[in-house]
Amino acid sequence: MPFLNWLKRRLVVIAGLLTLAYLLLPNIIVTVFSFNKPKGRFNYEWQRFSADAWKDPCGVADMCGSLSLSLQIAVWATVGATVLGTMISFALVRYRFRARGAVNSLIFLPMAMPEVVMAASLLTLFLNMGAQLGFWTILIAHIMFCLSFVVTAVKARVMSMDPRLEEAARDLYAGPVQTFLRVTLPIAAPGIAAGALLSFALSFDDFIITNFNAGSTVTFPMFVWGSAQRGTPVQINVIGTAMFLLAVLFVLFAMVLGNRRNKQKA
Amino acid sequence: MKTTPDNSGDVRLSGISKTYGSFTAVHPLDLTVPEGSFFALLGASGCGKTTTLRMIAGLEEPTTGTVRLGDQDVTHLPPYKRPVNTVFQSYALFPHLDIFENVAFGLRRRGIKSVKKQVEEMLELVQLGEQARKKPHQLSGGQQQRVAVARALINHPRVLLLDEPLGALDLKLRRQMQLELKRIQTEVGITFVHVTHDQEEAMTMADTVAVMNGGRVEQLGAPADLYENPRTTFVANFLGTSNLIEAEVGTRSGDDIVLKAGDGKLVLPGARCTAPTTAGGKVLVGIRPEKISLTHADDAGEIPAGRNRLTGKIADASFIGVSTQYVIDSPVCAGLSVYVQNVERDGRLVPGADVVLHWSPAHTFALDAAQAIDAGTEEEVAA
């Protein structure tokens, strides 16, 4: 059975390709339908090719406004969560203090708790405090749930760091600030970057918590959800495709940079 | 590159101690390391040698006492303000910087702009000129070790501290690096303080060795002096191997002391006895295994007069190339070790054979019997 033998030898490759296809198929559909010219208001059936939506991505009322808001919130949430999360990670790994164990497990609660529960309780909290729902309440909520992811990523990195490296820096005439900037931070950087990327992605597409705490403010995921009730403009697919391409480009750029650096060193 | 001897490279520790809660890592200790010397702190793990080193580096604050470099009191200076650099155990090279930047680190932190020439010279000194643009993980253990030395030495510290720098290397490389470090030290003339648990390493490299045990310095001196004249059982057992035999003080004849061990008599030069020698008191007689000669009991008559002798039976013999190591059970003491050079091997010296052990009285030393006879042996240290 030459065919069976052929299959046996390539089983891993075939399984890998199938998994990849499974992962990428939704993205391909989104991209394909961004070139559709739908008949009615819903973009769910293929009609014919058109680049109209790509030529006028902001042609739908309010969409680009919500996109810009989502990007702003994602950037600030990333900054806030990354800074706070990094500090928490260092505190948890480096220092022994009362209730350290409790903090260590409590920090993971937001990851484990159902989002809907968290969203509702946050809303209760904001309402009781008399807070005006909008940009700031969304931002506070996003920083909160991104924190645990940053802490997870950074803590793993800090824990595997040899404390002698910092001693070596201090021994070599680096004061506390210099030691942190020249040794601690660069070594922890991959963990911090991973935490930041996660935060950005989580914040940008969060719907449930945002929907509860946004008041009359509309973020991009909320816009997509809302328009799905009345009709889906092709521009949503355009934005989706653009985000996907940007992410792919970003990853490729990082890989090329890494490769070149390694070659220089070798 | 040699500095003029103005004693600025002296390290003076006075009354220095370190306690963690109720645990005393280092008991108050006074130590002077003269400028330009190669000084070793030797001891088993947990004896306080690394803590002592870290107090010189400034990485630990002493509980009491002062650290002086030359005339400068540095006790309360942070490590980055001390003219002292450290070669860390497992090197602690910065993984995100290449070799060049690792070596340049100290210079750059002190605001020196043109570092290229100095770094290149230093990499040449440790024979790593070719590897400047590699990352630490791309180098072998021995190369990483040399980077760590270069990174510390480039700052021209008044004292270089080495914390078990060769511990992670295999035996052959360790021998090579011992010579290499010794060469570098001679070349740059900087005071080296070297912490190690390897007694051979300490004796090979250092001018002066301080043997530490339980947070105290047991004995301090030149390697040969420590080896030949240990003052405690710990030093006798930790530096090489010693046969320690319990004996009773007998009479004095001139400068010599005559001791009774079992039925036999042993003679000991009075100068080599650190124990009180009241007649009838007990002492521990020490003799190094390589100083002992073995003669088959049948030829006992050929042994020259005036030598100390003991009878015994060979319990075990292991051939290790240059020498054969025997374990001999004697009526006065079981498990004596004897190392015999493999020059002319006597075929009768096999396990079970009756032998006479004999050695020159001049090689005998005696210690106070009021201490643990097995202090510093491998079994005792491991326990």
Mark residue A215 as left, alpha or beta (left: phi above 0; alpha: psi -120 to 50; beta: remaining).
left
ipTM of the complex: 0.80
- Compute the Cα dihedral for B153, B155, B160, B164 and give only its sign: negative
Mutation choice for A interface testing from B109, B130, B134 by most A CBs within 10 A: B109
pLDDT band at A266 (very low <50, low <70, confident <90, very high): very low
The pLDDT of residue B197 is: 92
Reported pTM: 0.79
The residues, any chain, with a CB within 8 Å of residue B43's CB and separated by 6 or more, are B49, B197, B211, B212, B213, B238
CB contact under 8 A, B155 and A172: yes
Q: Specify the DSSP class assigned to residue B46.
A: T
CB contact under 8 A, A178 and B135: no
Residue whose token pair is 């002592």: B52
Q: Chain B residues contacting A, CB < 8 Å?
A: 57-59, 78-81, 84-86, 88-90, 92-96, 98, 105-106, 109-110, 133-135, 138, 151-152, 155
**pLDDT of the residue at B383:** 52
Measured from the Cβ of residue B14, the count of other Cβ atoms closer than 10 Å reads 15
Give per-residue burial for A125-143: e unless 16+ CB within 10 Å, then b: ebeeeeeebebebbbbbbb
Judge whether residue B308 has pLDDT over 70: yes
Between A167, A178, A186, which is nearest B92 by CB? Answer: A167
Taking the CA atoms of A181, A186, A192 and A193 in sequence, report the sign of the dihedral they define.
Answer: positive
Lowest mean pLDDT among A89-98, A178-187, A257-266: A257-266
Give A-chain residues touching B74 at CB under 8 angstroms: none
- pLDDT at A86 > cutoff 80: yes
Output A138 or B171, whichever has higher pLDDT: A138
pLDDT tens digits along A130-182: 989 999 999 999 999 999 999 999 999 999 988 899 999 999 999 999 999 99
Query: Are residues A172 and B90, on separate chains, in Cβ contact within 8 Å?
Result: no
DSSP B273-311: B-S---TT-EEEEEE-GGG-EEEEGGGGGGSPTT-EEEE
CA atoms within 13 A on the CB side of B19: 10
Mean of the per-residue pLDDT values for chain B? Answer: 89
Alpha-carbon distance A206 to nearest alpha carbon in chain B (angstroms): 35
Q: Which residue has the tokens 């405090």?
A: A129
What was the pLDDT predicted at B274? 80
Mean pLDDT (chain A, rounded)? 89
Q: What's the order of all strands across the beta sheet hosting B308-319?
A: B293-296, B354-359, B308-319, B323-329, B336-341
* Contact (CB<8Å) B106/A186: no
Chain A environment of B57 (Cβ under 8 Å): 171
Long-range contacts of B261-266 (CB under 8 A, 24+ apart): B261/B285, B261/B310, B261/B332, B261/B333, B262/B331, B262/B332, B263/B331, B264/B309, B264/B310, B264/B311, B264/B332, B266/B308, B266/B310, B266/B361, B266/B364
- Min CA distance, B272 vs chain A (Å)? 44
Q: What's the CATH code, domain A61-232?
A: 1.10.3720.10
Instruction: Please give the structure tokens belonging to residue A3.
Output: 């065919």
Distance CA B341, CA B71 (A): 50
Distance from CA of A158 to the nearest CA of B (A): 14
Q: Are A77 and A143 in contact (CB under 8 A)?
A: yes
Please state, for a pLDDT cut of 90, what percent of chain A lies above it: 56
What is the percent of chain B where pLDDT is above 70? 97
What is the rounded distance in angstroms from the CA atom of residue A210 to the CA atom of residue A110?
A: 15
Distance, in Å, from the CA atom of B181 to the CA atom of B316, rounded to the nearest integer, reads 38
Tokens 């009479």: give the residue: B251
Answer whether B267's CB lies under 8 Å from B308's CB.
yes
Mean pLDDT of B332-345: 89
Nearest chain B CA: its distance from A262 CA (Å): 9
Q: How far apart are CA B126 and CA B102, in angstroms?
A: 14
3-class SS at B368? Answer: strand
- For the residues B279-308, what does the mean pLDDT come to? 90
For residue B1, what pLDDT is reported? 43
CB proximity list for B156: less than 8 A, separation 6 or greater: B190
Question: In 3D, which of B147, B143, B92, B191 has the Cα closest to residue A171?
Answer: B92
Question: How much is the pLDDT for A123?
Answer: 94
For residue B9, the model assigns a pLDDT of 74
CA B86: distance to chain centroid?
A: 19
pLDDT digits (tens, 9 = 90+) for B339-369: 999 888 888 999 999 999 999 999 999 998 8
Q: Which domains does chain B have, with CATH numbers?
A: 11-233 (3.40.50.300), 235-382 (2.40.50.100)
Length of chain B: 383
Residue B137, pLDDT > 60, answer yes
Rounded to a whole number of angstroms, the distance from the CA of B129 to the nearest CA of chain A is: 14
Q: Which two tokens stand for residue B279?
A: 């007649």
Residues in CB range of A232: below 8 A, 6 or more apart: A41, A42, A43, A44, A224
CB neighbour burial string for A17-40, b if at least 16 within 10 angstroms, e if fewer: eeeeeeeeeebeebbebbbbebee
B85 neighbourhood in chain A, CB within 8 Å? 171-172
Q: Which residues of B126-143 are buried (b: 16+ CB within 10 A; e: fewer)?
A: bebeebbebbbeebebbb
Q: Which residues of A touch B58 (CB under 8 A)?
A: 170-171
Let me know: does A69 contact A214? Beta carbons within 8 Å. no
CB B325 within 8 A of CB B338: yes
| Residue spans per domain, chain A | 61-232
Q: Tokens 């990174």: give the residue.
A: B151
- B56-95 residue pLDDT tens: 999 999 999 999 998 889 999 999 999 999 999 889 999 9
CA distance B81 to chain A (A): 6
Give the pLDDT confidence of A92-143 residue by residue, as tens digits: 998 888 888 898 888 888 888 899 999 999 999 999 999 899 999 999 999 9
Q: Position of tokens 């559909």?
A: A29
Instruction: Report chain A residues whose CB lies below 8 A from the CB of B59.
Output: 167, 170-171
Name the token pair of A55: 């030529």
Q: What is the number of other CB atoms lying within 10 angstroms of the CB of residue B157?
A: 22
| Cα–Cα distance, B270 to B244 (Å, whole number) | 17
What is the mean pLDDT of the segment spanning B197-225? Answer: 92
Q: B150, B143 in Cβ contact below 8 A? A: no
Beta strand pairing call for B159-163 and B84-87: parallel
- Between CA B48 and CA B214 the distance in angstroms is 7
Structure confidence at residue B103 (pLDDT): 94
Assess whether pLDDT exceeds 70 at residue B134: yes
Are the Cβ atoms of A266 and B138 closer than 8 angstroms? yes
A vs B: CB pairs below 8 A: 70
- With an 8 Å Cβ cutoff, are B92 and A186 in contact? no
- Is B143's pLDDT higher than 80? yes
